[in-house]
Amino acid sequence: MKICILDAYTANPGDLSWDELASLAPLATYPRTLPQEVVTRAADAEIVLTNKTILDAEKIAQLPKLQYIGVLATGYNVVDLQAAKARGIVVTNIPAYSTYSVAQTVFAHLLNITHQIQRHSDMVHQGAWVNSPDFMFTAGTLHQLAGKSMGIVGLGNTGTAVARIALAFGMKVLAFTSKSEAQLALMFPQEVSQHQLLKVSKDELFAQSDVLSLHCPLNEETAAFINRDSLAQMKPTAIFINSGRGPLVDEQALADALNEGRIAAAAVDVLSTEPPKADNPLLSAANCYISPHIAWATQEARATLIRIATDNVKAFLEGRPQNRVI
């Protein structure tokens, strides 16, 4: 057996190790692989690992030795599952490895927006505090989170983690979720009984949320979940956060809402096309904070990803595949 990693750089830019994986079988790692390089590089490998490098039906057909595809992420849309299934190729993914890192990023953005930490730090370094007539200064109105309502779309692993942090900040959680009220009462017994966590309708979610954070999968029902109509229902003081998938948002509609002051701010870690095109409207939108798809990428989360990926390969070699997609 041989293992080939097509795009190793994002999971491990050099601060972690592939040694445990390499102990299982001969390993070839490539930082990045262009589409035209996939077949050549993976030709001798029975096991191929990929993050964003696409393995479509055409490429799978040209890899006769291929027995296993390990996706180095939770989402697996980079693999043609039908083609893999037809060949009997096992496909696995990495579930729930970045839950806490993504939740942390949500609040990194939210705290920066509500307390304007980066803006004030920049101003201090530019001399604004040195020249202040008072012992302190503010560059605008600051806001506390306690007492605000946080709308959360999707209460899976990450949405639940975000909800628990919001509750710890003294926020009220408005959950738009497929989970029943009975399930929520089991997950958050005290908060539900005290009405600090409520299951709400879509209209209630948009109208009542001071902060709205997306943690739902991307599918036909959720594509462009945030659009002109939903934004029109939101408070002009609302903050919107997306650390899920870029296509959950109509980016032009969001940019227009920001530029016209119909919502207060937005923070996104994902965009519809990555890297973004230079004309993406959010790049120039007012009060739009953008991080480059790094919510998942803490060293700890990446170490967990590599460990699970290694365990997945080991389980496959032992004839007991785990975390199977197909």
Active site residues: 245, 274, 293
**DSSP 3-state of 32:** coil
Distance CA 313, CA 275 (A): 30
**CB pairs under 8 A, 24+ apart, for 64-72?**
66/42, 68/92, 68/313, 68/316, 68/321, 70/309, 70/312, 70/313, 71/325, 72/5, 72/7, 72/11, 72/305, 72/309
CA 102 vs. chain centroid, Å, equals: 6
DSSP state of 135: S
Buried b / exposed e across 79-96, counting CB within 10 Å, b at 16+?
bbeebbeeeebbbbbbee
- HSE at residue 227, side-chain half, CA atoms within 13 A, is 9
Q: How far apart are CA 248 and CA 246, in angstroms?
A: 5
Buried (b) or exposed (e) across 115-145, using 16+ Cβ within 10 A?
A: ebeeebeebeeeeeeeeeeeeeeeeeeebeb
Tally of CB atoms within 10 A around 40: 10
Give CA torsion, residues 96, 102, 106, 109, to 10 deg.
-170
Which H helix or E strand runs over 104? helix 99-115
